[in-house]
Amino acid sequence: MLDNLTQRLAKVVKTIRGEARLTEANTAEMLREVRLALLEADVALPVVRNFIGKVREKAMGKEVMDSLSPGQALVGVVQQELASIMGADLGEKASQLNFSTQPPAIILMAGLQGVGKTTTVGKLARYLRQDKKKKVLTVSTDVYRPAAIKQLEMVSGQSGADFFRTESSEQPIAIAQAALDYAKRHFYDVLIVDTAGRLGIDEQMMQEISGLHQALSPIETLFVVDAMLGQDAINVAKSFNDALPLTGIVLTKLDGDARGGAALSVRHITGKPVKFVGVSEKLDGLEAFDPVRMANRILGMGDILALVEEARKNVDLKAAKELEKKLKVGGRFDLNDFKAQLEQMNNMGGLSGMLDKMPAQFRLAAQGANMEQANKHVGRMAGIINSMTPQERAKPELIKASRKRRIAAGAGVQVQEVNRLLSQFEQVQSMMKKIKNGGMMKLMRGLKG
C-alpha cells in the first residue's frame, strides 16, 4: 500500500533525521523531495501546496530550529501535517461510524459503478456483525442491474447479515422504504442501503440518490471511491460532496498498485473524514482509517499498531494456552503443534501481509526475498505434515527413510523437503524447550497489548 510514496519519503526522513543543523538550503531541498514524492503519488496539487506551505512555516519556526535534534523535530512536523491533512484535526471520533440514532441506524452508500460499493457493503456488514455484534439488514436499490442485487445477496450471506429481497420492477425509494419498515419491525440495529452507480457523474443518478437521502435521512452517507482513479478520484469526490451531505468516505483498492495520493487528498478537498479503506477483494479486507497511523506508515515508521491489532484478532489464545499447559506438564512439542504454529502464521495474513505493515527499512531489506514463494513454502510444509499419520506427528523420531518416501509422495514433494521440514521442526522444538514455563503465554500476552 502506497509503496512508492513510502519508500521515497522514508529516504528523505532518514536523511533529515540525521541532520545536526537545519539550514534554509537543506530544508528547501528536503521539502522539494517531499513535494515531488507527493505529486508522483497523485496527491492533488492544492493539497500538496497547502501541505508544503505549512511544513515550511513550522520548519523555520523556533521550535524546530532550537531543538536539540532539528532533523528529528522536522520529521515530527511532517508527520503531524501529514496526519492533519488526512483528518487527524477532525478528532478521533470523526473516523468512526455514528450510531447515535433510534435504530435502525441507516447507512446510505454512494459512488460510481465498479468502485467497490457492493463489496464494501459486504465488508461493512461483516465488520458490524462480527466486531460490533450488530443485527444488520442490507438492501439494494440498484434496479438497473439485477446482477448487482444478486451480488449483494451473496456478500450479505457471506457476512452474516440479512438481505432484504426486492424486484427490479420496483422504484428505488419504495424499495428503501419497505426495507426500512421491515428493519424497524424486526428490530435491526443497522440498515445498509446499496445504490445504483453510473460510470461517470450523471444528473439522473445524483437526483435518485438525493431522493433516497431525503426519504431515509440516513445517519451515515458514505461515499465510496476507488483509489486507483488517481487525480480523478478527487473530482468525483467533489461532485458527490456538492450533491449530497456526505458523512464520510471509504477509499477502496488501496492494495492495488494505486499511487494512493487520493488517501491524502479526499479529506482535504471534501472536508469529510475517510472512515475506512478497502485493502483486498475479500470481505475481511476493510480497515478502519486512522490518519495518524497512516501518516506513520507513509513515513516508513511502520504500522506496528495494526500488526498488533491483527495479531490480537487472529492469535488463537486458547491454542497457545493449551500448548503451554502441555509443555508444562512435561509434554513434548510435536509436529501437531508445529503445524498449528504454521497455521497461526497463515492466519496473520501470511508473511507478506505482515511485512506490509513493517517499517519501510525492514521492507526494503526483505525486498530481495520472494514473499509469495515464502507463503507457498509455509503451505507446502503444512501439506507435508498432513501426509503423516497421527502417530508420526506425535513421535517424529519414527520417521525413517521408507516413511519419508511415503510422506513425500503423499504431499507431492521431494524427500529432501521432508528432511528440511524435520530439521526445521527440530530447531523449533529445541527453542521451545528453552522457553521457560509461562514464556509462551507471556509472548502472546505481549501481542495482546
Contact positions toward ligand GDP, by CB under 6 A?
111, 113-119, 151, 197, 252-253, 255-256, 278-281, 285
Please state, in angstroms and rounded to a whole number, the distance separating the CA atoms of residues 357 and 307: 6
CA gap 94, 248 in Å, rounded = 8
Shortest approach of ligand GDP to residue 277 CB, angstroms? 8
Helices H / strands E in the chain, number of each: 22, 8
The H or E element spanning position 278 is: strand 274-278
Record the cell numbers describing residue 322, joined without a space. Answer: 493449551
Sign of CA dihedral 50, 51, 56, 61: positive
Dist. CA 316–CA 300, nearest whole Å? 29
Whether 284 has a binding-site annotation, put simply, is no
Q: Are 31 and 23 in contact (CB under 8 A)?
A: no
Q: Which is nearer to ligand GDP, 197 or 273 (CB)?
A: 197
C-alpha cell at 256: 492495488
State yes or no: 429 annotated in a binding site: no
| C-alpha–C-alpha distance, residues 6 and 106, integer Å | 36
117 is in an annotated binding site: yes
115 labeled binding residue:
yes
Q: Smallest gap, in angstroms, from Cβ of residue 110 to ligand GDP?
A: 10
Contacts of 54 (CB under 8 A, 6+ apart): 81, 84
313 in Cβ contact with 336 (< 8 Å): no
The three grid cell numbers given for residue 407, joined into one nine-digit string: 510422506
CA distances from 266 to 113, 248, 377, 413 (A): 18, 10, 40, 50
Inter-axis angle of helices 231-243 and 203-216, to 10 degrees? 50
Nearest CB to ligand GDP, comparing residues 95 and 151: 151
Could you tell me the smallest distance in angstroms from the CB atom of residue 43 to ligand GDP? 20
| Between 45 and 154, CB nearer to ligand GDP | 154
* Type of residue found at 276: F
Least distance (Å) from ligand GDP to the CB of residue 341? 29
CA angle 314–320–324, rounded 5-degree value: 170
Q: Please, what is the minimum distance in Å from the beta carbon of residue 106 to ligand GDP?
A: 18
Q: Is 116 within any annotated ligand binding site? A: yes
Whichever of 278 and 349 has its CB closer to ligand GDP, that residue is 278
By beta-carbon proximity to ligand GDP, the closer residue of 256 and 410 is 256
| Residue 189 near residue 105, CB atoms below 8 Å | yes
Element (H, E) at 393: helix 390-394
Q: Give the residue among 448, 409, 167, 157 at the shortest CA–CA distance from 310.
A: 448
Question: Is 111 annotated as contributing to ligand binding?
Answer: yes
Nearer to ligand GDP, 3 or 255 (CB): 255
Is 166 labelled a binding residue? Answer: no
The response to whether 252 counts as a known ligand-binding position is yes
Establish whether 195 is an annotated binding residue. Answer: yes
Q: How many CA atoms lie within 13 A of 393 on its CB side?
A: 16
Minimum distance of ligand GDP from residue 112's CB (angstroms):
7
Work out how close the CB of 128 gets to ligand GDP at its nearest, in angstroms, rounded to a whole number.
17
Minimal distance, residue 351 CB to ligand GDP, in Å: 19
Tell me which residue of 225, 212, 86, 52 sits closest to 143, measured CA to CA.
212
Of the two residues 118 and 247, which places its CB atom closer to ligand GDP in the complex?
118
Nearer residue to ligand GDP within complex by CB, 193 or 342? 193
194 annotated binding-site participant: yes
CA 60 remoteness from chain centre = 36
- Identity of the residue, 56 or 145, whose beta carbon is nearer to ligand GDP in the bound complex: 145
Cα 146 from chain centre: 30
When the beta carbons of 260 and 285 are compared against ligand GDP, the nearer one is 285
Q: Among all residues, whose Cβ is closest to ligand GDP?
A: 278
Smallest gap from Cβ 300 to ligand GDP, in A, equals 23
**Least distance (Å) between residue 142 CB and ligand GDP:** 8
102 is in an annotated binding site: no
Annotated binding-site positions for GTP = 111-118, 194-198, 252-255
Annotated binding-site positions = 111-118, 194-198, 252-255
